[in-house]
Amino acid sequence: MMEQLKQLSKKTQILIGLGLACAVIILSFFIGRIDALLILGAVVALAVSLFIYRSPFLGLVVITFFLPFERIGSYDVAGITIRISQLLTLILIVAWLARGIINRNLKIARSPIAIPMLVFLLVNILALTNALNLERALLVLAFTAFTMLFSYMVTQLVTDEERLTKVIRILLITTTIVCLFGVWQFFGDMIDLPTSLTGLREHYTKDVFGFPRIQSTALEPLYFANFLLLPISLLFVFLVSRSSAIKKIWLLPLFVLAGLNMVLTVSRGGYLGVAVILLVIGLFYLKKMFRWKFLLSLIAGVAVVWVVAVYALGFGDIFRLNSDTFLTHVQNAFSGPAYIERVETIEWAQQAWLDEPWIGIGPGQYGPYVSTHPYVVPDEGWKIVNNEFIELLAETGILGLVSFVVILLLLITRSIKAIMRAQSNYLKAIMVALLATLLGVIAQYQTFSILYIMHIWFLIGLMVAVQNIILKKISHKTVMPDNDSASPRPPKKISTNTPQS
């Protein structure tokens, strides 16, 4: 680390020192003291900052690895949950800006969604004037802007096929780790291991349904299911298209592992998202879906998931009881307490929108709006609408919802354009997987409503990055045709008396 410090200019060292000092002051303000743990954290932050400053892309790779670590791997400070991926992203943003400014080579890649994102944030800022709980509104706005900025960083740093492949490989590696932990979590709870070992929250253990709903390292099963949509989509499209970022021997086992974890989350929204993904990929690769080798592999994979799921639910009377509970929970989408609660939350959201139809009641204000007191957090936490689009309508009004829909439409239309023009089967497969995942997320967003999720904006940033890579290659080939297609030209004679540059 000392050698790296010496290689940096004095100006850079001063900037890093000031940034570290500011971080310590801010943390001490929240914690109330500066202790040995904080000093150790500052030293680690300095080392990580130097690492990311020297190679911002490697910083993004590390962030990709920590994306699914939401609950396990987080730390609560002053009532705010801080995650490793968030801290690393903050360092990445500062390091990338400092590096570009100091070296005077700050290059910004094109992002077609930049303007609608700014419009969306502007509407959120205007909606602060209607906030009942201004502190929560500012916090939600800050997290939303932060995750949007993270998506922008992904677009800036994933600039070619080689970097894209590295990011996807790391994503699949971390998916394998959290899925193995998810399986451990399920069977550990089934044999009555304590939650301190399984990592399950109390209301997801087998004491509730007779079987656990796994959440792995995520906060809730639905968030874990939401994270799994992207790796499942990538693995499925690699199987269908036979274009892969990893060795083909690993594709089916990883797809089965991720699929099993998705089943064990018992997340109806996650199942809906997977159904949309399979449908979209099937439409793009309809002919390849009927290859006998692929069909045999798919049938074998589904059979393994089914057998393991049946074994997990138990045998005999226990199996019948657990399977009935499982099917009832999955099928009971339009009745029961959960359905009644969703209807009530939507009715309240509609009323909130009618109160402020244009810019809404403010970011993160649905919870305070329906609470007894806007500054008193209920025991179960702030309520949400459980439908992202209706919640956006209530909190940001028509202007906020329209600007967000514009972001989605631009992503979808530009993705289709990139897919149709892609000359690389590998890049086309990835683009199809990313588009399918976005549509799957939109489908799952009908069942929950949290916008500032890191891995969702990672997906959005990656979509724009792959679009740029594909369209840039097409543009380059248009300007600089291949030698095979261009007509041969005789070499120019160069005078020996004229100096060559």
- Residue 82 is classified by DSSP as E
* pLDDT confidence of residue 52: 82
| pTM of the predicted model as reported, rounded to 2 decimal places | 0.84
74 or 239, greater pLDDT = 239
pLDDT at 205: 86
- Whether 490 shows a pLDDT value over 80: the answer reads no
Rounded CA-CA distance 13/316 in Å is: 67
Q: Which residue has the higher pLDDT, 50 or 150?
A: 150
Query: What pLDDT score does 485 carry?
Result: 42
Residue of higher predicted confidence among 165 and 76: 165
pLDDT at 322: 52
Check: CB of residue 73 under 8 Å from CB of residue 83.
yes
φ, ψ (nearest 5 deg) of residue 498: -95, 125
* Least confident segment among 68-82, 139-153, 475-489: 475-489
**pLDDT confidence band for 142 (50 / 70 / 90):** very high
Q: Which of 233, 235, 204, 209 is nearest to 221 (CA)?
A: 204
Query: Domain residue spans in the chain?
Result: 7-103, 114-476
Confidence at residue 245, expressed as pLDDT on a 0 to 100 scale: 73
Q: What is the mean pLDDT of residues 144-173?
A: 94
CB 420 within 8 A of CB 456: no
Q: First-to-last CA distance in the chain?
A: 42
Of residues 498 and 346, more confidently modeled: 346
The CA distance from 394 to 375, in Å, is: 19
Among 247-251, 332-336, 394-398, the range of highest mean pLDDT: 394-398
**What mean pLDDT is predicted for residues 248-268?**
89
> How far is 369 from 286, CA to CA, in rounded Å?
47
Q: Which residue has the tokens 């087998």?
A: 206
At residue 237, the 3 state secondary structure works out as: helix
| Residue with more model confidence, 20 or 259 | 259
- Closest among 2, 102, 86, 87 to 41, alpha carbons compared: 87
Report the pLDDT averaged over residues 258-285: 91
* pLDDT above 70 for 141: yes
Mean pLDDT of 78-87: 77
